[in-house]
């Protein structure tokens, strides 16, 4: 009823209200899309984050395991290589001990050894006093003898090895010298055998294990001096690397800054039986690049998935909104038709009062007009008498005009956001029209309106429709007469204006009370009501931020019967 009242009074307002609903539909579409995106992408983002995190851990673990494996395998190969060379020297020492210092036989054995193992550069045999007996490299025998004597010490009884730069006449190359005592069967020392091994063989052995673009394997001694050349230019026996992180442990893994100044993941392994360490490292940038690639791939597929989800969400939400729009328009058209019928039914209160008010002045005007007409036909009638009759007719017509003006004032309200309405004024105008109908029906009207109340935050037409519906229901509840009480008061603590509409009708039972605000529920006879009056009024009051309450008592519950409707409206 309220919706129909407003729509009929303001041309185009129904389209305005519909436009507001369309705006709400667009908001619903956005909310649906956002919900789809959140529900779909939040788990996807969580999964992507978990995959990237686990991928980083797996890549770091794989790189760590691979570097440790390289350092271990190369350390074992170097240990095996050195063990073979030491066995070679021991075997040659035993042969020399058996055959003596026969130069021809020694030269033959040494040549066979060099042919079988091309890593040997030279051999040197010295007696028990350190004097040279035989050398396969005469041009460098002085350098070899000096290095051998330094290695063996003063008593010439120590067995050992050393790495140094050997000048072979063409270039300096890293060489490994291994010395072993020549003993007879009684373990008496008869001299020393020293072998010079090309240590560049280590470079070839280690460089086979280079990793991708930045990974490398190299050999250092316990002071950090390079014993093999590195992949990126570190020179053997010249450059050094920090060894402080090894802490004397046989193996380990850590992040550090290498000799180039790059951040690397480095694994080391001590060569068993030798004071050497195999170092295997790879740049962290290259390791992390795999993780970054996973992240880039995840971002690409995440954005692609987000785009697909957005398209699906847009299509699904558009379909849902279109269905809701269609249902909404259908329901609004149905509601419009039903409310129009409800409006026509509720106009009975106004039309009956209006008919009663207009009937008396129109009847009087007609009566005095007829009397004046008859008196004009009498020849002796005085002019003043006719004028009096016409004055009475004019007065009655003015009375009817005033009644019409009151009705127009009561209904001539426009709805604007932010309107303020005086509820006392609405009630006074309403009862000027409906009062006569109440009087004819034997209903005594009592109005207790508090003066000086603040205006409520609502437009007059909405308040008027709500109150008209409540008064109309109260009057219909008392067909045999009764008492209608209209009361207004302002509750300052709650900042609310309360309007009470009380009747002395038969009351409303508890069963009916539970359904009183249910749409299309009515206790009237079929064709007398639609059951939407109280429902629409209740909904409109709630939209205005107020509340509509009802209290009723029947003959079975109390001595005095009746119903009290209380409307609450907020004020500024």
The predicted pLDDT at position 153 comes to 67
Please write down the HEC assignment for all residues of 173-222: EEEEEEEEEEECCCCCEEEEEEEEEECHHHHHHHHCCCECCCEEEEEEEC
Q: Is the dihedral of CA 14, 20, 23, 29 positive or negative?
A: negative
Torsion, Cα 548 551 552 556, to 10 degrees, reads: 150
Higher pLDDT, 416 or 161: 161
CB neighbours of 21 closer than 8 A, spacing ≥ 6? 328
- 2 pLDDT above the threshold of 60: no
Q: Which of 133, 131, 113 is nearest to 122 (CA)?
A: 113
* Structural domains of the chain sorted by starting position, each given as residue range(s) with its CATH number in brackets: 24-320 (3.30.450.20), 413-570 (3.30.565.10)
Residue 185 CB-density burial (10 A; 0-12 exposed, 13-18 middle, 19+ buried): exposed
User: In the 8-state DSSP scheme, what is residue 138?
Assistant: G
CA 206, 211, 212, 216: dihedral to nearest 10 degrees?
Answer: -60
Whether residue 7 has pLDDT greater than 50? no
Segment 248-276 shows an average pLDDT of 90
* 528 pLDDT tier (thresholds 50, 70, 90): low
Query: Can you tell me the mean pLDDT for 249-262?
Result: 89
pLDDT at 65: 92
Which of the listed ranges 33-42, 250-259, 360-369 does the model predict with the highest average pLDDT?
Answer: 250-259
Sign of CA dihedral 205, 209, 213, 219: negative
pTM assigned to the model: 0.50
Q: What is d(CA 179, CA 130) in angstroms, rounded to the nearest whole number?
A: 12
- Between 468 and 348, where is the model more confident? 468
pLDDT for 193 equals: 86
pLDDT at residue 67 in the model: 93
361-379 burial, b if ≥16 CB within 10 A, otherwise e? beebbeebeeebeeeeeee
Confidence at residue 453, expressed as pLDDT on a 0 to 100 scale: 92
Find tokens 């519909």 and name the residue.
Answer: 18
Give the chain's mean pLDDT: 79
Greater pLDDT, 69 or 290: 69
Q: What distance lies between CA 323 and its chain's CA centroid?
A: 28
Percent of the chain with pLDDT over 70: 82
pLDDT the model gives residue 417:
55
Q: What is the pLDDT of residues 412-434, one digit of tens each?
A: 555 555 678 899 998 888 887 77
In this structure, what is the dihedral angle of CA atoms 355, 356, 357, 363, given to the nearest 10 degrees?
Answer: 90
pLDDT at 17: 42
Averaged pLDDT for residues 279-303: 85
12 has a pLDDT exceeding 60 = no
* CA-wise closest residue to 92 among 231, 194, 242, 176: 194
Residue 359 pLDDT: 66
pLDDT tens, position by position, 346-363: 555 556 556 655 665 676
Query: For 213-347, where are the alpha helices, taking DSSP H only?
Result: 284-346
Tell me which H or E stretch contains 388. Answer: helix 383-411
Among 140-154, 195-209, 546-560, the least confident range: 140-154
Q: How far apart are CA 558 and CA 508, in angstroms?
A: 12
**Residue 268, SS3 per DSSP:** strand
Residues 90-129: tens digit of each pLDDT: 888 888 887 777 788 888 888 888 888 778 888 888 887 7
Which pLDDT score, from 0 to 100, does residue 156 have?
46
pLDDT of residue 403: 65
Residues across the chain: 572
Contact 533, 1 (CB under 8 A): yes
- Tens digits of per-residue pLDDT, 179-227? 888 877 666 777 888 888 888 888 888 888 888 888 999 999 888 899 9
Output the CA–CA distances (angstroms, integers) from residue 190 to 96, 102, 125, in the order listed.
Answer: 10, 14, 10
């Amino acid at each position: 009823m309220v919706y129909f009242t407003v729509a009929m009074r303001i041309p185009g307002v129904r389209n305005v209200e519909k436009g507001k609903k369309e705006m709400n539909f667009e908001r619903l579409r956005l909310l649906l899309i956002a919900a789809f995106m959140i529900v779909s992408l939040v788990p996807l983002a969580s999964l992507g984050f978990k995959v990237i995190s686990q991928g980083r851990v797996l890549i770091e673990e794989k790189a760590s395991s691979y570097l440790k494996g390289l350092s271990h395998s190369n350390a074992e190969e170097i240990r095996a290589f050195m063990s073979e060379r030491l066995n070679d020297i021991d075997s040659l020492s035993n042969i020399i001990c058996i055959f003596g210092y026969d130069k021809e036989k020694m030269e033959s054995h040494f040549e066979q050894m060099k042919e079988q193992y091309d890593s040997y550069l030279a051999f040197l045999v010295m007696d028990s006093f350190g004097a040279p007996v035989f050398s396969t490299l005469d041009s460098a025998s002085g350098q070899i003898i000096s290095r051998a004597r330094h290695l063996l010490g003063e008593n010439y009884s120590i067995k050992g090895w050393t790495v140094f730069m050997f000048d072979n006449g063409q270039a300096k190359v890293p060489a490994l010298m291994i010395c072993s005592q020549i003993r007879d069967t009684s373990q008496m020392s008869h001299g020393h055998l020293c072998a010079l091994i090309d240590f560049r063989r280590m470079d070839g052995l280690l460089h086979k294990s280079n990793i991708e673009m930045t990974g490398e394997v190299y050999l250092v001694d316990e002071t950090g001096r390079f014993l093999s050349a590195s992949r990126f230019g570190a020179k053997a026996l010249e450059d050094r690397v920090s060894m402080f992180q090894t802490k004397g442990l046989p193996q380990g893994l850590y992040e550090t800054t290498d000799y180039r100044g790059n951040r690397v993941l480095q694994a080391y392994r001590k060569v068993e039986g030798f004071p050497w360490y195999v170092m295997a490292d790879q740049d962290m940038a290259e390791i992390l690049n795999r993780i970054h690639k996973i992240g880039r791939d995840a971002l690409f597929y995440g954005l692609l998935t987000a785009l697909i989800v957005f398209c699906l969400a847009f299509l699904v939400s558009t379909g849902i909104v279109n269905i809701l729009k269609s249902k909404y328009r259908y329901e609004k058209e149905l509601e419009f038709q039903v409310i129009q019928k409800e409006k026509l039914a509720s106009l009975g209160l106004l039309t009956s009062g209006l008919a009663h008010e207009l009937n008396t002045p129109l009847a009087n005007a007609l009566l005095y007009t007829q009397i004046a007409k008859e008196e004009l036909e009498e020849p002796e009638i005085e002019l003043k008498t006719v004028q009096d009759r016409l004055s009475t007719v004019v007065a009655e017509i003015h009375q009817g005009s005033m009644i019409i003006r009151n009705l127009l004032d009561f209904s001539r309200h426009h709805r604007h956001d932010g309107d303020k309405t005086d509820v006392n004024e609405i009630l006074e105008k309403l009862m000027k029209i409906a009062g006569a109908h109440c009087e004819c029906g034997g209903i005594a009207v009592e109005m207790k309106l508090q003066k000086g109340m603040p205006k409520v935050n609502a437009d007059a037409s909405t308040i008027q429709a709500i109150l008209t519906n409540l008064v109309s229901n109260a009057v219909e509840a008392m067909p045999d007469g009764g008492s209608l009480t209209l009361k207004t008061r302002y509750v300052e603590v709650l900042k609310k204006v309360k309007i009470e509409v009380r009747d002395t009708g038969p009351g409303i039972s508890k069963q009916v009370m539970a359904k009183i605000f249910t749409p299309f529920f009515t206790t009237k006879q079929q064709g007398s009501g639609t059951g939407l009056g109280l429902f629409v009024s209740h909904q409109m009051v709630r939209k205005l931020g107020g509340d509509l309450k009802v209290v009723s008592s029947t003959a079975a519950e109390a001595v005095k019967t009746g119903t009290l409707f209380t409307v609450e409206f907020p004020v500024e």
